[in-house]
């Protein structure tokens, strides 16, 4: 993982087709393959690969990865927006995320949240694989106040809390 992260961090500055980037990515892929081989042969693996034969387990792992990746990206870009465009300090920018974390915490704790609360809903509707016809995008500008983020933070927190539960 170190090689992969290092390759991703260095890629833009040294060039993605450079020998350094290619070597780091190849090394990361080789070590990942070695990890999988060792795990498959181990009598007490850290990650029993047989678990991935269970479709429910695999689906939950994909959903958890997707939610985590989305929240980390959201946190990164909103922090940059709050600090660079709106001129907020790090502490104040962090305080603005209370809407997300508070709603996430509450929605993950409340009984109506989570899959057991929706016995009649299809699995695809719960994990968001159903098709929707329209998408709306909200664009922020440098002149907007941070409060324009609150509705999106609430929705992201509630959705994440439901999935995490």
- In this predicted model, what pLDDT tens digit does every residue of 108-146 receive, in sequence order? 887 654 455 555 555 455 554 444 454 555 676 667 788
Clarify whether residues 43 and 63 are in a common domain. no
Residue 8 sits in the same domain as residue 65: no
The whole-number pLDDT of residue 42 equals 92
Tokens matching residue 120: 């009649």
What distances in angstroms separate CA 6 from CA 15, 18, 21, 25, 99, one per listed residue? 13, 14, 9, 9, 33
pLDDT beyond 70 at 88: yes
Distance separating alpha carbons of residues 66 and 49, to the nearest angstrom: 20
Domain ranges, residue 117: 54-164
In this structure, are 45 and 86 located in the same domain?
no
Burial of 126 (0-12, 13-18, 19+ CB in 10 A): middle
Report the distance separating Cα 25 and Cα 22, nearest Å: 5
pLDDT at position 34 over 50: yes
Q: What percent of the chain has pLDDT over 70?
A: 81
My answer on whether 9 and 64 are in the same domain is no
pLDDT for 86 equals: 87
CA distance 11 to 118: 44
Asked if 163 and 67 touch (Cβ cutoff 8 Å), the reply is yes
* Higher pLDDT among residues 140 and 84, named by residue: 84
pLDDT at 77 over 80: yes
Are 26 and 66 members of one domain? no
Instruction: Tell me, yes or no, whether 25 and 77 share the same domain.
Output: no
Report CA torsion sign: 26, 32, 33, 34.
Answer: positive
Specify the pLDDT at position 151.
86
- Between helix 55-80 and helix 150-164 the angle, nearest 10°, is 160
Residue 32 banded pLDDT, cuts 50, 70, 90: very high
pLDDT of residue 120: 55
Closest to 123 (Cα-Cα) out of 163, 156, 160, 92: 163
Better pLDDT: 140 or 24: 24
Mean pLDDT estimate for the chain: 82
Instruction: Give how far Cα 23 sits from Cα of 17, 30, 65, Å.
Output: 10, 10, 26
Q: Are residues 40 and 103 in the same domain?
A: no
- Count of structural domains within the chain: 2
- CB-based contacts of 3-10 (< 8 A; 24+ apart in sequence): 3/27, 3/28, 3/31, 4/28, 4/32
Residue 128 Ramachandran class (φ > 0 left, ψ -120 to 50 alpha, else beta): left
Asked whether residue 36 falls in the same domain as residue 95, the answer is no
pLDDT at res. 113: 44
The rounded percent of the chain whose pLDDT value lies above 90 is 32
Question: Given this model, what pLDDT does residue 70 score?
Answer: 87
Mean pLDDT of 88-92: 92
């Amino acid at each position: 993982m170190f090689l992969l992260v290092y390759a991703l961090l260095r890629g833009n500055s040294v060039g993605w087709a450079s020998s350094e980037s290619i070597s780091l990515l190849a090394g990361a892929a080789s070590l990942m393959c070695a990890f999988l081989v060792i795990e498959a042969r181990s009598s007490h693996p850290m990650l029993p690969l047989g678990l991935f034969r269970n479709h429910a387990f695999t689906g939950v792992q994909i959903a958890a990865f997707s939610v985590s990746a989305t929240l980390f990206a959201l946190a990164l870009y909103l922090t940059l927006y709050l600090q660079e465009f709106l001129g907020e300090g790090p502490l104040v920018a962090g305080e603005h995320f209370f809407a997300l974390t508070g709603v996430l915490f509450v929605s993950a704790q409340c009984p109506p949240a989570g899959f057991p609360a929706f016995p009649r809903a299809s699995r695809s509707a719960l994990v968001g694989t159903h098709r929707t016809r329209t998408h709306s995008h909200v664009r922020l500008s440098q002149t907007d106040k941070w409060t324009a983020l609150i509705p999106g933070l609430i929705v992201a927190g509630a959705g994440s809390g439901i999935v995490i539960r």
